[in-house]
Chains A and B, each alone.
Chain A
């Protein structure tokens, strides 16, 4: 049975799902959350859910590609802690979908001059909110856990770059009564072994 084999694709996919579930992004001197994780305001799936399993609003993370980004002489790389390893820069591409149905609603509190106002966000307004805050979470993705090789992630994964290409195909599907959109993201990491 292999011990501590490289498992970077699973490490990154799970980190991405965990961070989106938390809805947490960085602010000056701290962090904030865009939606509650427990009970979840937003359901995050790692693949397209079955029809009996789906719950809206949802984010679906779908890996669509991966492959070598750049190779180095002799396949030699240096890990962040200075130790030598074999490997290359490897890229992983994700599509991230946002879906909102007619019954979806998240309560958001806005501070106004008249005090705090709690408002339900629905339909297009909710989709807009999920797009921007989903993007915020993706911009601030913190891979510290998997870099350190925390509990549950036996092999450390070192992230090199991330590229978020923005949302497109924003629209409403009348056949299914869903407001949907799609974003792409590429993450490169050291495929150390």
Chain B
């Protein structure tokens, strides 16, 4: 479809959007990898009201390139509605053909994704609240401790866990306040196809070791060979189910609060559990582990769709006030 620019006489030259995204991402936070989210769609009954039968599972796909240009990021004025539009942004994404070339968005792999539609959500990183240290592992007193196998080492960017380790635990130094965070993101890969990620366990409250366990269930989540898999899941109370997508396949994922996990308490540790490593052959790599505060932009309208890019006008309808969250909980 020719865009507005194209129909106004002067045709802009072909844009190398990938290059623009890359340049902006390196220099500013305007361009980021965002998470595309479409909630579960239920089948409707004979009266047009959704039933309890899932028609299309939730889609939660990280690593979508986007440029975010907010007009208003947060508006705290209250209006006569329980909900309110409290932010507006114009978001640029690559053209739909490029998007569909990404593994997760490829319709051959993921038949549920067709295009970005109204009220789909683009979840952006508003602020990284806690970034896990992966550029080294102290000696003595390592931050990263293995279960079985060899002591984790770093290649300067990621943590490498080798031998027949079945878990690695990162322990924070001095416990960290992560109340503002509402999502957990990390990248993981292996050098073979034996390793299955079984769970991620976050522990907080130094005095009680309360746990929050994120478990990929069906089908089993086999890590990709020599290719980073980005996992981006909610870190909020009340979440019981989410999704991890690999190559367009949804891995249903449960989030279980193992003992009244208290989000106001400091983070103690993050543990990654897996199964199936071959002795002294398999290595698990981890990097970019972070807890971040997100902003969820909802697609309100599609402004322009060209062969170079797509422009969406997006709004925020909900936001969080962290001071009140701490005061009220």
Contact = CB atoms under 8 A, between A and B. Distances in A.
A51 B50 contact: no
Interface in A88-114: 97, 99, 101-103
A120 B43 CA distance: 12
Given A50-B321, A103-B39, A177-B119, A56 B82 contact: yes
A179 B318 CA distance: 16
Nearest to A123: B49
Interface string A50-80: 1111101010100000000000000000000
Given A50-B78, A119-B52, A178 B83 contact: yes
A91 B80 CA distance: 24
Contacts of A103: 39
Nearest to A60: B82
B319 A120 contact: no
B320 A176 contact: no
Contact of A52 (B49, B79, B80, B318): B318
B260 interface: no
Interface string A130-173: 00000000000000000000000000000000000000000001
Interface string B34-64: 0000010010000111111000000000000
B48 A124 contact: yes
A19 interface: no
Contact of A51 (B42, B52, B318, B325): B318
B83 A125 contact: no
B85 A176 contact: yes
B39 A54 contact: no
Interface in B137-192: none
Interface residues of B, number: 25
Given A52-B320, A122-B42, A125-B47, A176 B119 contact: no
B49 A122 contact: yes
Interface string B115-153: 000010000000000000000000000000000000000
Interface residues on A, range: 20 to 34
Contacts of A99: 81-83
A48 B318 contact: no
Given A52-B319, A52-B320, A58 B82 contact: yes
Interface in B79-116: 79-86
Interface in B277-329: 317-321, 324-325
A93 B51 CA distance: 37
A94 to B, nearest CB: 15
A51 B83 contact: yes
Contact of B317 (A51, A60, A119, A180): A51
B51 A119 contact: yes
A48 B49 contact: no
A43 to B, nearest CB: 9
B49 A51 contact: no
A49 interface: yes
Contact of A122 (B50, B82, B321, B324): B50
A176 B324 contact: no
Nearest to A43: B82
Scoring B50, B81, B320 by chain A CB atoms within 10 A of each residue's CB, the highest score goes to B81
A51 B48 contact: no
Contacts of A51: 78, 83-84, 86, 317-319
B82 A178 contact: yes
B321 A52 contact: yes
Nearest to A120: B52
Contacts of A120: 50-52
24 contacts: A48-B81, A49-B82, A51-B86, A51-B317, A51-B319, A52-B318, A53-B321, A53-B324, A54-B83, A54-B318, A56-B82, A103-B39, A120-B51, A120-B52, A122-B49, A122-B50, A123-B50, A124-B47, A125-B47, A176-B83, A176-B84, A177-B317, A178-B81, A180-B81
Interface of A: 45, 48-54, 56, 58, 60, 97, 99, 101-103, 119-120, 122-125, 173, 175-178, 180
Return the 3 tightest CB-CB contacts between A and B, nearest first.
A52-B321, A125-B49, A120-B52
